[in-house]
Chains A and B, each alone.
Chain A
């Protein structure tokens, strides 16, 4: 059976006319787990946001294709309906919008990509049942569904809410941007296990992380190292282990040109989703 394929070819991305990615190549099959590692400012989040279609992340060159279909021609909502998902590092709050209402709308659109605005949402009863089951699974209190999206959530709650959304939307490919950051050890373990159960074998996972816990539960088939807006090295699970225990010194020495670009980029602040992280 042919599996879904996401290909990124020679991708160049600028933010506010400042080049951040300078020729990224990546090929992922559904069912594979890829770790994306690299020092701060190397462009990991930028790759994720460009994949998801953030309007500020302008692709100046290259291609992103899902099963040969051009994703760059699609807005973010169409990409979501095509099966792309991103768990954000710092998800924004939407005051006044209940998690359950938001997710019911999102789930309907993603499951019925041809739905027109204003058409029926999936029935409340079925949706509630499914949501409750998934929340039980993630050990989330039912009260969570009645709270406003990310509004006043702790860091841990936000990350779990992102995983819950991934569980409901069942994407083909998911980008997890530091879904383990800002969590205590127990919360990291829970998040890691949940991602493994929901995602592994079923989705293509692109995991951006600094920690080893997440990768312990989700051993990568491939590890990519970013530096200065490029993937400079790709290896297996052993590369992730090396980077975790020994850091990026070897990488920096081996790729001095990319290292220089990385330093230049760090002089500017890398734009991020604007919400303040509440821990």
Chain B
């Protein structure tokens, strides 16, 4: 026998070893096994696949990573960007998929709110959470990454808000990666009928002194990492959610995310999706407007530099009458970075009187950056209003000159123009700390223009 053993890689042996130490109910183990089966049968996506034509992952090797079964080499993560001077109702932190801390205001816990690490909360609430895990609105068979995550998720968060409970203050979650770390996570956000909440979630890369187990700062930009994640948001009738996602990994991290929301009657979702980090990020973002008059606003803010590659595939799926969707994505691109945005508004025959809007604007800060923008419509109802559009352009020299003629340096002028470009989408974000964090992060990244 000369079989090369990779006891710590992503193979069936390591998967079984992982299951053996999970102490999870049989229904969950069987779901995981089914997904593992799917994973084993699926090939890695190549540029022959529609969604991957513009996204090259030939240099991605799963063999370079180990399932993050061991505890992380650090227990403390730095504070996030999104919560400066923000009073919170709860927070949780994970490093390399493992929960390191979490808390929730007791008065919310007593109302039945669950918030924190999904695996830990699952241990105590298995029966209650079973239908939410079995729902799988992100199909494990969507692609190999969805299958991997469905089978092998180790960490992730849960927010569960029972019927009619309003969580006034935001909840915060931070997922961190150390060098060569892996974040394999499943996040569930469940709002029952009439519930309300705000959740701020962000990611970061850390540099760790392994001996001392201390965080010593943010990771060297290029240090390698992998995130594969599934986020499912399920909103009952009349519920209201503000959900903020900031992807802020170091620039050596592969980011593969499937994010999907399903909204029942009269539910409202404001979803802010910001992305600054990562090496290659491939994100599927889908919203199902399943109930009458449900509505969703998506605010996308992206800044890429170096050789970063972000690919976003979005779907706003109108399934019921009088639903509204409004997706606005803005990206600024520096250096040799690249973005791909492919958006689709789909309107089912039953979804009369819907209003769907999608727009993607790109600002190119270098001659070597590139933005591909592909909006699309698929409409099967006849009484609807759907509009879409996209723009790509450079910073106009006349604007720079105008600002310079008032005493601003060229770099100050470009920063101002770039933040101005984002203002339209930032104005829609109703959480001041998120707006401020994004403005600062973007302004810091803008360098001399040409």
CB within 8 Å of B: which residues of A?
A: 52-56, 75-77, 79-81, 85-86, 88, 91-92, 94-97, 101-103, 105-107, 109-110, 117, 148, 165, 169, 273-275
Q: Are B423 and A109 in contact (CB under 8 A)?
A: no
Instruction: Write out the residue numbers on chain B whose beta carbons fall within 8 Å of the beta carbon of A148.
Output: 420, 423
In the assembled complex, the Cα of A275 lies from the Cα of B396 at a distance in Å of 11
Q: Are A53 and B405 in contact (CB under 8 A)?
A: yes
Residue of B399, B411, B419 ringed by the most chain A CB atoms within 10 A: B399
Q: Are B397 and A55 in contact (CB under 8 A)?
A: yes
Please encode chain B, from 406 to 420, with 1 for each CB lying within 8 Å of some chain A CB and 0 for all others. 111111110011011
Q: Are B407 and A77 in contact (CB under 8 A)?
A: yes
In the complex, B422 has a CB within 8 A of chain A: yes
Instruction: Write out the residue numbers on chain A whose beta carbons fall within 8 Å of the beta carbon of B410.
Output: 75, 77
Q: Are A275 and B398 in contact (CB under 8 A)?
A: yes
Q: Are A106 and B402 in contact (CB under 8 A)?
A: no
Residue of A92, A103, A273 ringed by the most chain B CB atoms within 10 A: A92
Q: Are B420 and A169 in contact (CB under 8 A)?
A: no
Q: Are A102 and B403 in contact (CB under 8 A)?
A: yes
Instruction: Enumerate the 4 nearest inter-chain pairs by beta-carbon distance, A residue then B residue, closest first.
Output: A96-B423, A96-B420, A109-B407, A106-B406
Q: Are A94 and B408 in contact (CB under 8 A)?
A: no
With contact pairs A95-B420, A96-B423, A97-B423 given, residues A274 and B405 touching in the complex (Cβ less than 8 Å): no
In the assembled complex, the Cα of A77 lies from the Cα of B413 at a distance in Å of 10
In the assembled complex, the Cα of A76 lies from the Cα of B421 at a distance in Å of 23
Q: How big is the B interface, by class?
A: 20 to 34
Please encode chain B, from 376 to 408, with 1 for each CB lying within 8 Å of some chain A CB and 0 for all others. 000000000000000000001111011111111
With contact pairs A117-B409, A117-B412 given, residues A95 and B421 touching in the complex (Cβ less than 8 Å): yes
Task: Name 19 A/B residue pairs within 8 A (Cβ), A-sorted.
Answer: A53-B405, A76-B405, A77-B413, A79-B405, A80-B407, A81-B407, A85-B405, A92-B396, A94-B402, A94-B416, A94-B420, A95-B420, A96-B421, A96-B422, A96-B423, A102-B416, A106-B408, A109-B406, A110-B407
Q: Are B412 and A273 in contact (CB under 8 A)?
A: no
Q: Are A165 and B424 in contact (CB under 8 A)?
A: no
Give the residue of B396, B408, B421 whose beta carbon is less than 8 angstroms from that of A105. Answer: B408
Give the residue of A77, A96, A97, A169 whose beta carbon is less than 8 angstroms from that of B404. Answer: A77
In the assembled complex, the Cα of A109 lies from the Cα of B417 at a distance in Å of 17
Instruction: Write out the residue numbers on chain B whose beta carbons fall within 8 Å of the beta carbon of A56.
Output: 397
CB within 8 Å of A: which residues of B?
A: 396-399, 401-413, 416-417, 419-424
Measured CB to CB, the nearest residue on chain B to A150 is B402
With contact pairs A105-B412, A105-B416, A117-B412 given, residues A94 and B406 touching in the complex (Cβ less than 8 Å): no
In the assembled complex, the Cα of A108 lies from the Cα of B422 at a distance in Å of 24
Measured CB to CB, the nearest residue on chain B to A111 is B407
In the assembled complex, the Cα of A221 lies from the Cα of B419 at a distance in Å of 44
In the assembled complex, the Cα of A19 lies from the Cα of B399 at a distance in Å of 24
Q: Are B419 and A96 in contact (CB under 8 A)?
A: yes
Name 9 extra pairs, CB < 8 A, besides A77-B409, A85-B405, A103-B406.
Answer: A54-B401, A97-B419, A97-B423, A105-B412, A109-B407, A110-B407, A148-B423, A165-B406, A273-B402
Q: Are B407 and A169 in contact (CB under 8 A)?
A: yes
Instruction: Write out the residue numbers on chain B whose beta carbons fall within 8 Å of the beta carbon of A96.
Output: 419-424
Measured CB to CB, the nearest residue on chain B to A88 is B402
Q: Are A109 and B420 in contact (CB under 8 A)?
A: no
In the assembled complex, the Cα of A106 lies from the Cα of B407 at a distance in Å of 5
In the assembled complex, the Cα of A79 lies from the Cα of B409 at a distance in Å of 11
Q: How far does the Cβ of A123 sit from chain B's closest Cβ, in whole Å?
A: 18
With contact pairs A96-B422, A96-B424, A274-B396 given, residues A86 and B405 touching in the complex (Cβ less than 8 Å): yes
In the assembled complex, the Cα of A102 lies from the Cα of B416 at a distance in Å of 8
In the assembled complex, the Cα of A86 lies from the Cα of B404 at a distance in Å of 11
In the assembled complex, the Cα of A56 lies from the Cα of B417 at a distance in Å of 20
Give the residue of A54, A169, A274 whose beta carbon is less than 8 angstroms from that of B406. Answer: A169
Q: Are B402 and A92 in contact (CB under 8 A)?
A: yes
Q: Are A95 and B401 in contact (CB under 8 A)?
A: no
Q: Are B421 and A77 in contact (CB under 8 A)?
A: no
Q: Are A76 and B404 in contact (CB under 8 A)?
A: yes
Q: Are A109 and B404 in contact (CB under 8 A)?
A: no
With contact pairs A109-B407, A109-B408, A169-B406 given, residues A76 and B401 touching in the complex (Cβ less than 8 Å): yes
In the assembled complex, the Cα of A55 lies from the Cα of B402 at a distance in Å of 11
Residue of A88, A97, A102, A165 ringed by the most chain B CB atoms within 10 A: A97
Q: Are A95 and B423 in contact (CB under 8 A)?
A: yes
Instruction: Write out the residue numbers on chain B whose beta carbons fall within 8 Å of the beta carbon of A54.
Output: 401, 405
Q: Are B396 and A97 in contact (CB under 8 A)?
A: no
In the assembled complex, the Cα of A222 lies from the Cα of B396 at a distance in Å of 37
In the assembled complex, the Cα of A55 lies from the Cα of B399 at a distance in Å of 12
Q: How far does the Cβ of A55 sit from chain B's closest Cβ, in whole Å?
A: 7
In the assembled complex, the Cα of A76 lies from the Cα of B408 at a distance in Å of 9
Q: How far does the Cβ of A251 sit from chain B's closest Cβ, in whole Å?
A: 30
Instruction: Write out the residue numbers on chain A whose beta carbons fall within 8 Å of the beta carbon of B419.
Output: 96-97
Instruction: Write out the residue numbers on chain B whose beta carbons fall within 8 Å of the beta carbon of A103.
Output: 406
Instruction: Write out the residue numbers on chain A whose beta carbons fall within 8 Å of the beta carbon of B423.
Output: 95-97, 148
Q: How far does the Cβ of B163 sit from chain A's closest Cβ, in whole Å?
A: 40
Q: Are A75 and B404 in contact (CB under 8 A)?
A: yes
In the assembled complex, the Cα of A60 lies from the Cα of B146 at a distance in Å of 63
In the assembled complex, the Cα of A258 lies from the Cα of B409 at a distance in Å of 38
Instruction: Write out the residue numbers on chain A whose beta carbons fall within 8 Å of the beta carbon of B412.
Output: 105, 109, 117
Q: How far does the Cβ of A56 sit from chain B's closest Cβ, in whole Å?
A: 8
Q: Are B403 and A55 in contact (CB under 8 A)?
A: no
In the assembled complex, the Cα of A94 lies from the Cα of B423 at a distance in Å of 11
Instruction: Write out the residue numbers on chain B whose beta carbons fall within 8 Å of the beta carbon of A86.
Output: 405
Q: Are B416 and A55 in contact (CB under 8 A)?
A: no
Q: Are B398 and A273 in contact (CB under 8 A)?
A: yes
Instruction: Write out the residue numbers on chain B whose beta carbons fall within 8 Å of the beta carbon of A88.
Output: 402, 405
Q: How far does the Cβ of B205 sit from chain A's closest Cβ, in whole Å?
A: 25
Q: Are B405 and A97 in contact (CB under 8 A)?
A: no
In the assembled complex, the Cα of A80 lies from the Cα of B406 at a distance in Å of 6
Measured CB to CB, the nearest residue on chain A to B424 is A96
In the assembled complex, the Cα of A95 lies from the Cα of B421 at a distance in Å of 7
In the assembled complex, the Cα of A265 lies from the Cα of B413 at a distance in Å of 33
Q: Are A94 and B399 in contact (CB under 8 A)?
A: yes
Q: How far does the Cβ of B400 sit from chain A's closest Cβ, in whole Å?
A: 9
Q: Are A55 and B401 in contact (CB under 8 A)?
A: yes
Instruction: Write out the residue numbers on chain A whose beta carbons fall within 8 Å of the beta carbon of B424.
Output: 95-96
In the assembled complex, the Cα of A70 lies from the Cα of B277 at a distance in Å of 45
Q: How far does the Cβ of A226 sit from chain B's closest Cβ, in whole Å?
A: 21
Instruction: Write out the residue numbers on chain B whose beta carbons fall within 8 Å of the beta carbon of A94.
Output: 399, 402-403, 416-417, 420
